[in-house]
Chains A and B, each alone.
Chain A
């Protein structure tokens, strides 16, 4: 079985400069979801399997590939062209799809989302371009007893889980935080530095340059602020409540009304009523 894993370097929020775009890049680390994908690939490879880590980016993103080498992948491949500077997720998906097709694979594993831009679109876009089956937000993969089929367990919200059967080749996006990437000792770095990074150019793998036209442009990066609430009357509010509303919260009734005292049976009844009011509508 040949498994191709997409990896990328992500921005460390502590070093993001507010302003135009997410560039220039200052301090980065390998995307946690991608490392979960590498780990998943290593567990799946079997005796005769091969795992290839693939990235799209300039030379300074090779740290993610080195990390993948430390975790045990056989080959590392980087695709880059200056045409890709400022590429959006679809340009990246186009290149990833072309490169993965060129390398050939039974499974293509990608992180479900990156820790920085987090579009959660690349996996679906790659599957759409390659016209392959896709399962997103996967937390576990196993071979089905029969043939080339795989079982993929995915994590939905609020404790919901689903299991899908997919036949290979297929694309899976791996949810971060569930599959724990294996430990790599620092001393292993020197050994892996020698690992040769194969370089591909988009034109070599048949990715057309016109697919790189940006469909989405980042105008600026700012500190987060909640959206403006429309239709909340603030005229009668105190300064504190106005600030709370501006920050996206809501006006709180005064503490005396929110906090009650009394005999246990009485307060338990009111507590139950309050909880019932707050609990979500049951699906």
Chain B
């Protein structure tokens, strides 16, 4: 590669705002552009509002291509893929990066087919060895990594693992130059009939964003279970339990958290009265923030917590429920 090519980030929008992967993907292309000696740029469907540009300003994009043109609302992955591909064919960037969201995965594959490019999916990291640009990607469910290299001419297409992505703002610099390009979105061939959200209460625990886990103490005070359910409800969380609670018949089998039950991938896990046995902790190791309430200060779970409270859950949880207040609409987290 000679110098000066562009590295593109696909900036996903959803319901009239930037998807939270947009700033992260922008950070990622800044990193890749630095690696390759190119220019970090963004691609966005539709002409972005001023507040989008302000939100993206600290992430160091030099240009933002806005794809103008007719498209349905909300745009499908097919339309986004076609529009990005037509622009990429015209502008010949070095790389096009997508976040590995449902839309990103599909759009990336379509762009790669249209451009005849290689696609590296679910990348964790990028590197440059001499003239070769390589990516490390998850294989076998992330239990191994494969280092892959693109063959053939650019643009190289990649999707980036959502857990690897992080937004790293830089000190505010020059705002990005906005370039509006006419793009061909094509006509959608599938018709979106309905969009809905499964209530946190019914959602499978492995898919839940917030989870409340209850441990052994509840077996001695089963009458307090509705109170714990109330806390979960107000947090917009799914309720699960340790094995002993499930074995005790208080919760159904599919609500068991741990190595032999559900493996969580939640943003927040509130463990109440759970000491943190190694089998339980295996099931929650992918949780981003672990919060625990336990009577015993020496419980192993406190080794892992981001925030812990030593105390009686039957006193603390009702107080928490009162503080959280009622009237939360279903599916909503706290403001």
Please give the residue numbers on chain A whose beta carbons come within 8 Å of chain B beta carbons, in ascending order.
11, 13, 16, 18, 22, 88-90, 93, 115-125, 128-129, 132-137, 151, 154, 156-166, 170, 213-228, 230-231, 252, 255, 258-262, 264-265, 267-272, 274-276, 278-283
Please name 27 pairs of A and B residues whose Cβ atoms are closer than 8 Å in the assembled complex, sorted by A: A22-B139, A90-B113, A119-B109, A120-B105, A120-B159, A124-B109, A125-B109, A158-B207, A162-B194, A166-B189, A215-B151, A215-B152, A216-B118, A218-B148, A219-B146, A222-B145, A226-B164, A230-B31, A260-B308, A260-B310, A264-B312, A265-B319, A271-B320, A275-B235, A275-B334, A279-B210, A283-B17
B72: min CB distance to chain A, Å: 12
Q: Contacts A272-B324, A279-B210 known; A216 to B333 CB distance under 8 Å?
A: no
Q: Which residues of B contact A115 (CB under 8 A)?
A: 140-141
Q: How far is the CA of A147 from the CA of B291 in the complex (A)?
A: 52
Tell whether B144 is near chain A: CB-to-CB under 8 Å. Answer: yes
Chain B 179-212 near chain A by CB (<8 Å), digits 1 or 0: 0000000000111111111111001000111100
A207: min CB distance to chain B, Å: 14
> Which residue of the partner chain, among A118, A156, A252, A258, contacts B141 with CB atoms under 8 Å?
A118
A232: min CB distance to chain B, Å: 10
Q: How far is the CA of A276 from the CA of B14 in the complex (A)?
A: 23
Q: Which residues of B contact A128 (CB under 8 A)?
A: 81, 109-110, 113-114
Chain B 147-181 near chain A by CB (<8 Å), digits 1 or 0: 11111100000010000100010000000000000
Q: Is the CB of B309 within 8 A of A260?
A: yes
Please give the residue numbers on chain B whose beta carbons come within 8 Å of chain A beta carbons, in ascending order.
14-15, 17, 20, 31, 77-78, 81, 100-102, 105-106, 108-110, 112-114, 116-122, 124-125, 134, 136, 138-152, 159, 164, 168, 189-200, 203, 207-210, 235, 267-268, 270, 288-289, 291, 293, 297, 302-303, 305-312, 315-317, 319-320, 322-324, 331-335
Q: Is the CB of B193 within 8 A of A279?
A: no
Q: Is the CB of A118 within 8 A of B122?
A: yes
> Which residue of the partner chain, among B77, B119, B140, B195, contacts A16 with CB atoms under 8 Å?
B140
Q: Contacts A215-B151, A221-B139 known; A121 to B309 CB distance under 8 Å?
A: no
> Which residue of the partner chain, among A132, A156, A221, A265, contacts B102 with CB atoms under 8 Å?
A156
Q: Is the CB of B291 within 8 A of A271?
A: yes
Q: How far is the CA of A213 from the CA of B196 in the complex (A)?
A: 42
Q: Is the CB of B323 within 8 A of A269?
A: yes
> Which residue of the partner chain, among A118, A119, A270, contacts B119 with CB atoms under 8 Å?
A119
Q: How far is the CA of A236 from the CA of B100 in the complex (A)?
A: 35
Q: Is the CB of A216 within 8 A of B149?
A: yes
Q: Which residues of A contact B78 (CB under 8 A)?
A: 134
Q: Is the CB of B267 within 8 A of A278?
A: yes
Q: Contacts A90-B112, A125-B113 known; A278 to B190 CB distance under 8 Å?
A: no
> Which residue of the partner chain, among A255, A262, A271, contacts B293 with CB atoms under 8 Å?
A271
Q: Is the CB of B268 within 8 A of A279?
A: yes
Give 9 nearest A-B pairs by CB, closest first.
A215-B118, A268-B319, A124-B109, A259-B308, A278-B289, A121-B109, A216-B118, A133-B189, A227-B125
Q: How far is the CA of A264 from the CA of B311 in the complex (A)?
A: 7
Q: Which residues of A contact B138 (CB under 8 A)?
A: 118, 224
B100: min CB distance to chain A, Å: 8
Q: How far is the CA of A70 from the CA of B195 in the complex (A)?
A: 36
Q: Is the CB of B102 within 8 A of A225?
A: no
A118: min CB distance to chain B, Å: 6
Q: Which residues of A contact B315 (CB under 8 A)?
A: 264
Q: How far is the CA of A259 from the CA of B210 in the complex (A)?
A: 20
Q: Is the CB of A11 within 8 A of B198?
A: no
A240: min CB distance to chain B, Å: 12
> Which residue of the partner chain, among B14, B190, B322, B334, contacts A166 with CB atoms under 8 Å?
B190
Q: How far is the CA of A270 from the CA of B311 in the complex (A)?
A: 13
Q: Is the CB of A220 within 8 A of B146?
A: yes
Q: Contacts A117-B139, A215-B152, A275-B291 known; A124 to B110 CB distance under 8 Å?
A: yes
> Which residue of the partner chain, among A157, A163, A218, A252, contacts B101 with CB atoms under 8 Å?
A157
